[in-house]
Chain A
Amino acid sequence: MQKIAIVYSFNTMKTSKIAKRISDAFGKNAVEMVNVEDVTPKQFLKFDNLICGTATWFDGELPNHWDEFVPELEDMDLSGKKVALFGLGDQKGYPENFLDGMGILGDILEAQGATMVGFTSTEGYTFESSGAERGDQFIGLGIDFETQGSKNKERVNGWVEKLKLEFQ
């Protein structure tokens, strides 16, 4: 399996924790951590397998670190790239836009030709609406520190096992 990039902001707390947990689950030599705050298109395109992590800010926005990279993403040809997403949200506090950031990012990456992998079931989550929903699945892995933090480990580990197959 080729090396996987985990792209996220190094200046985050919770997203960084999940990124590290994913990295540990894959094994450190299998992944490279990439900071979205200063990543260049060239660095991003170097990878064929990517995991992108984002929180949802305000009432359903991408954080600035991703939003400011979007104009670059929108000029990329991501055909042949496999991309998995993980998103952080608060289904109880913000049930109207749970994991919207992940959904927005997914839309952009898909539009640029990426093959999205790592979909997960929406079962076990309670929310009103989510921009990350694709039928009865999320476009990536949903993490909720606020409401279901105790499930993080199990969810990440299960997801990574699935990704190991999908990234083949």
Chain B
Amino acid sequence: MKKDRKYNIKTTDKKTLEKWFRLMTLGRLLDDRAPNYLKQAIGWSYHAPYAGHDGIQLAIGQVFDRETDHLFPYYRDMLTTLSAGLTAEEIIYNGISKDLDVAGGGRHMSNHFAKPEWNIHNVSSSTGNHTLHAVGVGRALKKYKTPGISICSQGESSVSEGYVYEAINGASNEKLPVLFVIQDNGYGISVPKKDQTARRKVADNFAGFKNLRIIHCNGKDVFDSMNSLVEARKHIEEKEEPVIVQANCVRIHSHSNSDAHELYRDDFELNYVREYDPLAKFRRLLLRYERFTDEELTVIEEEMKQVVKIAHKAGMAAPDPSPDSIHDYVLPEPYVPEKYTDGTHQFEGNPMKLIQALNETLKAEFRHNPDTYIWGQDVAHKEKGGIFNVTKGMQKEFGKERVFNAPIAEDYIVGTANGMSRFNDKIRIVAEGAEFADYFWPAMEAFVETTHEYWRTKGQFSPNITIRLASGGYIGGGLYHSQTIEGTIATFPGVRVVYPSFADDAAGLLRTCLRSRGLNFYMEPKALYNAPKAATPVPDDFEVPFGKARIRREGEDLSMITYGNTSHLCLEAAQKISEEDGASVEVMDLRSLIPLDKEAILASVKKTGKVLIVHEDKVFSGFGAELAALITDEAFEYLDGPVKRVGSTFTPVGFNRILEAAILPDTEKILTAARDLLQY
């Protein structure tokens, strides 16, 4: 506490002190009361008490400006959110998971306080991953030259997560207006901080970063916390660079109600953390410096008890969410093409390669919508655009503000897309998720998180992102350059998954992705980028609706259901069967896996009675397993034979061409399976 700083027990006006005391008292009453709801089996089964973090949490809420800022509180931030403006009722609605919960109607875990309407964001339980989101929205604040800062709050142990490093590195590199507040209570559940990193003050691990200021404060002290955050904010606004504030706190209680801290903390420690209770200290200061009398403070304390009583009654009377609502807000309504309603066309121009179709559609959409952005590894150079040149010429035409490279940090690429799209609903982001689909795995946590957002916030936040990935094999790429990952991706509700195999569909699906709200996963069969067989005429304005399969070859005797690289293999096999066996095979290119054109699949099965599902991914647990189950479940009586599948072996994809050929599906394997099936 230095006397020249803005807030001081002697000089801060009484009205402000009273406001703080009210908030701190109210917060503590709610924090202390929360476990009772669990004991009475009402709810609040997850409660991470904040007692001991009072100074810094009050300060975060007080420096947050809901008109300009974005706040990412973590699961211990009850007082932060109260101080930022949430009411006692809103805290209780969230705690006991009521439909009126402004974070998302009881969909997210208790003690995850949020109010997306005010940009108090609904964040994950995956500790610290909101650093990426805070940085992403910081990027938007900077690009749109908007006043305001992005505030990210987290515990000190969460800094051990790799994505926190990525986030702070990115904020430093991009010089973004982000305030990282690390609330250090010395423990990650029961793990002491010495087991997390060598330095006791984890923020100092970032001391070598450029464009980054680090401030330490006493998070147990209201004034030091307020002054430090005011100073941090001023620094961010004046120097246009991020700041980390590490606030030393104590954790007076256990980590949460499922933790028993007596098992790993001795009486001495439990006593001294209680002695350092920030609320008790603030009260002592108010009395010692004669800013309030004991009677005045007692009156406030009684008033706050009444506030909690009223809020409790409101909470108990509030409606629960309806079980009928579970399917609401999985995905927002997509853009619906008006001209090409079934995603086909009769255009007869010159064939265009798939890669050119992607490039031209991206450019067209970037011209169409000035709020489009693309980033990824290697995507933005003068003459080069991505490892395969899909984005060639884009930075030249649209500039560095909209088309830019990302560090080799896949989680950062996807996580900051999530964050940036929070800035407004007009923004459309294309994230090249990784150089190759096989490298996408580090981004999985950011991806999974993003699939939750729309549902978890009850439709209040839609991440409008298209993740593009060069996918699949047949290029002799081996592990990490040959795999296709839709079998995994399609298991997550909250994302659309598309996988074109021809240039026109590639263009049409990409346009629809870029005009839709929500998260799209766009898989590009890279072996077809320049393949003549995938080249087609492409209308300039072509659009393909989600969930519309396309019959690429009509047939009567057998249905091949496929997508991506294997569409072409199926067409070759169908032609051969027609020529050599005289049988008529229908080839259906799904184009879109989620949503799935169930109607078209069932119609084809009913027509032919025989189904061969073909995809490049592994047969075992591949997407085809879901298709096979669907068909046997809903069209069993129309089948004249078993539902057969052709795909990769249950192995990685080998590098040697002999191994690759043995592993991936090919025309011969499809022919063999189809002929077997035709025998039934």
Which A residues lie at the B interface, using CB under 8 A?
57-61, 64, 67-68, 70-71, 74-75, 94, 96-97
Contacts and interface: CB of A to CB of B under 8 A. Distances in A.
Contacts of A97: 200
A20 to B, nearest CB: 22
Given A59-B201, A61-B218, A68-B281, A75 B3 contact: yes
A61 B221 CA distance: 11
B289 A71 contact: yes
Given A64-B275, A68-B288, A71-B8, 14 more contacts: A57-B276, A59-B200, A61-B248, A64-B276, A67-B1, A67-B221, A68-B284, A71-B10, A71-B285, A71-B289, A74-B3, A75-B3, A75-B10, A96-B201
B145 interface: no
A163 B216 CA distance: 34
Given A64-B281, A67-B221, A68-B285, A96 B3 contact: no
B270 interface: no
A70 B199 CA distance: 28
B11 to A, nearest CB: 9
B9 interface: yes
Contact of A71 (B9, B199, B218, B275): B9
A61 B216 CA distance: 10
A57 B186 CA distance: 13
A41 B638 CA distance: 95
A96 B163 CA distance: 26
Contacts of B10: 71, 75
B2 interface: yes
Contact of A96 (B2, B200, B221): B200
Contacts of A57: 276
Nearest to B272: A57
The residue in B200, B216, B276, B284 that gathers the most chain A C-beta atoms within 10 A of its C-beta is B200
Interface string B16-56: 00000000000000000000000000000000000000000
Contacts of B184: 59
A22 to B, nearest CB: 24
Contacts of A74: 1-3
Interface of B: 1-3, 8-10, 184, 199-201, 216, 218, 221, 248, 250, 275-276, 281, 284-285, 288-289
A97 B204 CA distance: 13
Ranked 9 nearest A-B pairs via Cβ: A74-B3, A59-B200, A58-B248, A71-B9, A70-B1, A71-B10, A96-B200, A61-B218, A59-B201
B221 A94 contact: no
The residue in A60, A71, A75 that gathers the most chain B C-beta atoms within 10 A of its C-beta is A71
B16 to A, nearest CB: 16
Nearest to A63: B276
Given A75-B10, A94-B200, A96-B200, A59 B3 contact: no
Contacts of A59: 184, 200-201, 216, 248
Nearest to B1: A70
27 contacts: A57-B276, A58-B248, A58-B250, A59-B184, A59-B200, A59-B201, A59-B248, A60-B216, A61-B218, A61-B248, A64-B276, A67-B1, A67-B218, A68-B281, A68-B288, A70-B1, A71-B3, A71-B8, A71-B10, A71-B289, A74-B1, A74-B2, A94-B200, A96-B199, A96-B200, A96-B201, A97-B200
Nearest to A112: B3
Contacts of A71: 1, 3, 8-10, 285, 289
A44 B591 CA distance: 82
A30 B234 CA distance: 50
Contacts of B221: 67
Contacts of A60: 216
Contacts of A68: 281, 284-285, 288
A70 B1 CA distance: 7
A37 B9 CA distance: 17
Contacts of B248: 58-59, 61
A14 to B, nearest CB: 13
A60 B203 CA distance: 14
A97 B276 CA distance: 19
A15 B2 CA distance: 25
B171 to A, nearest CB: 24
Contacts of A94: 200
A75 B216 CA distance: 24
Nearest to B277: A64
Contacts of B250: 58
Contacts of B289: 71
A64 B285 CA distance: 10
A58 B55 CA distance: 16
A96 B9 CA distance: 30
A68 B222 CA distance: 12
A94 B248 CA distance: 15
Nearest to A64: B281
Contacts of B218: 61, 67
Contacts of B276: 57, 64
B219 to A, nearest CB: 10
A40 B3 CA distance: 18
Contacts of A61: 218, 248
The residue in A64, A67, A75 that gathers the most chain B C-beta atoms within 10 A of its C-beta is A64
A30 to B, nearest CB: 30
A74 B2 CA distance: 8
A140 to B, nearest CB: 20
A94 B194 CA distance: 11
A67 B278 CA distance: 12
A67 B3 CA distance: 13
Nearest to B223: A71
Contacts of A96: 199-201
Nearest to A57: B276
B614 to A, nearest CB: 61
A162 B552 CA distance: 97
Contacts of B288: 68
